Amino acid sequence: MMTEPQASMIKHSIMVMSGKGGVGKTTVAVNLALGLALYGKKVGILDADITGPNVPLMLNVEEEVMVGEDDGTIRPVEIPVGADGVVRVVSMAFIAGRESPVVWRGPLKIQMLKQFIEKVAWGDLDQLIIDLPPGTSDEPLTIAQILRPEGTVIVTTPQDLALIDARKAIDMARSLGVPVLGIVENMSGFSCPGCGGAIDLFKVGGGMRAADELGVPFLGRIEIDPAICESGDSGRPFILRVRSKNSEAFDGIARKIIALSQSEEGEDRRV
Ligand SMILES: Nc1ncnc2c1ncn2[C@@H]1O[C@H](COP(=O)(O)OP(=O)(O)O)[C@@H](O)[C@H]1O
Ligand SMILES: [Mg+2]
């Protein structure tokens, strides 16, 4: 008989959602995880995006193999951050491997994800961050139902259509009873590398307006920044290697999340 993995103490959990793909959800999840770890937090990041598990790529842990011990426990890949922070990574990419995940059928995928998650030995965590699949279809919904996070961060870009999708994501979170912690507006304008002047490629401020209209907090805006894209592709995380307006913006989001967690302290969850 298999023994259950040792219970982990997970103080807080949030999921990162978006109405559609490609808006920077994984980028925000990864930089937020690292941003929290820079404050000495123990952070787990669960890449539950079965269709495109990109977290390992962005953290350069693709080649790492998780040790499944005799009892079947799954050990996250551990990345030390700063003096005493840590990020522990578990990705569906670790089990899907190089096989095309699209061959998995819906219910089977969800079942595998569920079994997989139950076996993870996270250890004690201050915060678990879940990178959900994009959109508001059955898949993110079911995953959110299994994981029951305490809150959600919605990522959007400033275009009108993306904002309509963000609103759908907020509605989905609300229908699940998961509080919306706030909106991040990503790819929000661009600073000219030559003169530093602002260029509003897809307009800016839509996320802030949407947050206002929908009565949810605005957590911050991140510009379109070639260094962010380059960091993602190279697996050298942006927030760890760049000091700029945009890394400060990620830091600001991390600080807001810490403040929110502290205001709810005492509600530790054992999973
Ligand atoms: N603010 C940004 N500036 C430049 N490139 C970005 C920014 N945010 C994300 N990207 C890039 O856009 C692509 C999609 O981002 P990703 O985080 O994978 O989106 P999602 O998880 O929502 O599909 C990636 O190549 C990423 O590096
Ligand atoms: Mg993603």
Classify residue 270: in a domain, yes or no: no
**pLDDT, mean of residues 118-134:** 93
State residue 40's pLDDT score: 97
Does the CA dihedral 261-264-266-267 come out positive or negative? negative
Give, for ligand 1, the residue of 92, 229, 248 to mutate: max count of ligand atoms closer than 8 Å to Cβ. Answer: 229
Under 8 Å CB-to-CB from 246, ≥6 apart: which residues? 222, 223, 225, 227, 228, 238
In whole numbers, what is the pLDDT of the chain averaged over residues?
86
Q: What does the pLDDT read at residue 2?
A: 43
Residue 198, pLDDT above cutoff 90:
no
Closest ligand (CA of 48): 2
Name the residue at shortest CA distance from atom 25 of ligand 1: 229
Q: What is the predicted pLDDT for the residue at 74?
A: 85
Domain with residue 202: its CATH number is: 3.40.50.300
Residue 1 lies in a domain: no
Is 43 within the bounds of a domain? yes
Q: Is residue 17 part of a domain?
A: yes
Any ligand 1 atom below 6 A from CB of 235: no
Name the pLDDT band for 13 (thresholds 50, 70, 90): very high
pLDDT band at residue 72 using 50, 70 and 90 as cut-offs: confident
- Each residue's pLDDT tens digit, 237-246: 999 999 999 9
Which atom, in ligand 1's list, is nearest to the CA of 155? 22
pLDDT of residue 227: 96
271 in a structural domain:
no
Q: Is the CB of 165 under 6 A from ligand 1?
A: no
- 241 occurs within a structural domain: yes
Q: Which ligand has an atom closest to residue 231 CA?
A: 1
If one compares 210 and 30, the residue with the highest pLDDT of the two is 30
22 C-alpha vs ligand 1 centroid, how far in Å?
A: 6
- Return the residue whose CA atom lies nearest to atom 15 of ligand 1: 24
Quote the pLDDT of residue 104. 59
Please give the structure tokens belonging to residue 49: 């995006």
35 lines ligand 1 (CB under 6 A): no
- Read off the pLDDT of each residue in 254-262 and give the average, rounded to a whole number: 94
Domain count, the chain: 1
Any domain includes 185: yes
158: how many CB neighbours lie within 10 A of its CB?
23
The confidence score (pLDDT) of residue 99 equals 52
Mean per-residue pLDDT, 117-121: 87
Average pLDDT over residues 167-188: 93
- Whether 152 is in the pocket of ligand 1, judged by its Cβ within 6 Å, is no
Q: In this structure, which residue's CA is closest to atom 9 in ligand 1?
A: 24
Q: Which pLDDT value is given to residue 203? A: 67
In ligand 1, the atom with minimum distance to the C-alpha of 232 is 27
Provide the domain limits for residue 125: 9-264
Q: Is 252 part of any domain?
A: yes
